[in-house]
Amino acid sequence: MINLEITITTTAGETFSARPNTGTIMALEAHYKLESGITAIQQMNLGYFAWLAWEKRRHDGHTVPPFDKFRAQIEDMDFEVDTAPLPGKETPTG
């Protein structure tokens, strides 16, 4: 699975990080009717990253505004994605 951390800074100066789990990525697929959430993340669509952070924060029990308002409050967004293959799934060389 992709190891992803998204850090959001809002216009109010709040900063938080979210690590979407498999369930959150599956919710992204269902919400946006995507064939693959992993492919969508690898394409680095900022809207998807914002939605994942919003959805994860919501499911972690934080109060969040509706997504359109949340998106308008994003001052900065940073993300780290580790797409290294899982152990035993490496592509053979040679």
Bridge partners (DSSP) listed for residue 16: 8
36 neighbors 12 (Cβ within 8 angstroms): no
- Does residue 40 have a pLDDT over 60? yes
Q: Whole-structure pTM over 0.85, yes or no?
A: no
**Helices 22-32 and 46-59: crossing angle, nearest 10°?**
120
Nearest to 4 by CA among 87, 17, 63: 17
- pLDDT per residue over 4-36, tens digit each? 899 999 999 999 999 988 888 888 889 888 888
